[in-house]
Amino acid sequence: MQSFAGSEGINGPVQTTEPVSLSRRIKERALLEGFDLVGIVAAEPLNDESARLKEWLARGYHGEMSWMARDPETRTNPCKLFPQARSVIVVALNYYTPVGYSGADKTGKVSRYAWGDDYHEVLGTKLRSLLAWIKEQAPLAEGKICVDIQPMMDKAWAARAGLGWIGKHTNLITRDLGSWVFIGELLVNLELDYDTEPVADHCGSCSLCIDACPTGAITDDYVLDSNKCISYATIELRAPEIPDPIADKLEGWLYGCDICQDVCPWNRLAEATAEQAFGPRENNVDVDLLDVLRLTPETYAARFRHSAMKRAKLSGLQRNARTLLNRG
């Protein structure tokens, strides 16, 4: 059993007399839970990212995602989300499956991240198990699980924890897995041993992602305008119609878009995920567009239960299908 000095518990940081040992064991346990990468950093504000986020919001690059503009300080300071936080355990999980698109007539492509089960549920389950294990080692430990829905800058925390660097397409790139990774965090009230070596930016002079984006959504190195992004338009945008400049250049995407990741040289290293939950569901790589239009609220709910594709809602998915059929 891990021994601790002090007894602040949920009201303050828990001091461990063996932070290196506990941190090492937490990382080992995270890998046993199925995560591919893990790093631990102090729960301190992301000051540089805060300035960049405010500038990005001021440009209106978040489009209709109004929740991103609500209290941006919370997104860069984990203590505003979980006041007891002293450490951030950052994990990454490979979701790459080596399956290609058929290109069949009247079908729409689905972004690779949504082929299988909802990653929020998969990562959330693993993080809950990790937190339960930590509490067994440290009875005074408390934590908060974050998987995309919570206001955490996942990619920035992963970069700070040394899992990779943020590429010019604004996705996290890892040296071993490329960018096909989901990210999650566990905020804990434990003082731990921290990773202090960031991974250098290895994008260099490469501009393949920028050049390949059909809508010019990557407006500059490391800057994405959501208003021009196919993924944003087909998932987050709630307008009854997709704007013409994007609708004319969907290139077959029904839900999401992977173009900037598909062309990234670092993804040539991608290996198939060991997580079976991310394997493609039946008819969920190339989706029959006419089938989408025939969906009812009941059949839609049944088909996409435990799927990330629920995010677009039935109305959005059918709007996307109509757009592809009309522009085909």
Tens-binned pLDDT, residue by residue, of the chain (328 aa): 232 223 344 445 555 556 779 999 999 999 999 999 999 999 999 998 999 999 999 999 999 999 999 888 899 999 999 999 999 999 999 999 999 999 999 999 999 999 999 999 999 999 999 999 999 999 999 999 999 999 999 999 999 999 999 999 999 999 999 999 999 999 999 999 999 999 999 999 999 999 999 999 999 999 999 999 999 999 999 999 999 999 999 999 999 999 999 999 999 989 999 999 999 999 999 999 999 999 999 999 999 999 999 999 999 999 999 999 998 7
3-state secondary structure (DSSP) of residue 219: strand
Q: What is the Cα–Cα distance from 252 to 247, expressed in whole angstroms? A: 10
Catalytic residue selected from 36, 105, 118, 148: 148
The model's pTM: 0.92
Tokens of 217: 């959504």
Q: What letter would DSSP give residue 114?
A: G
Class for the domain spanning 4-104+111-188? alpha beta
Listed by start position, the domains of the chain span: 4-104+111-188, 208-268+280-327
Query: Residue 128 to residues 17, 145, 193: CA-CA distances in angstroms?
Result: 25, 7, 21
Looking at the DSSP bridge assignments, the partners of residue 88 are 41, 187
Query: Is 148 among the residues known to form the active site?
Result: yes
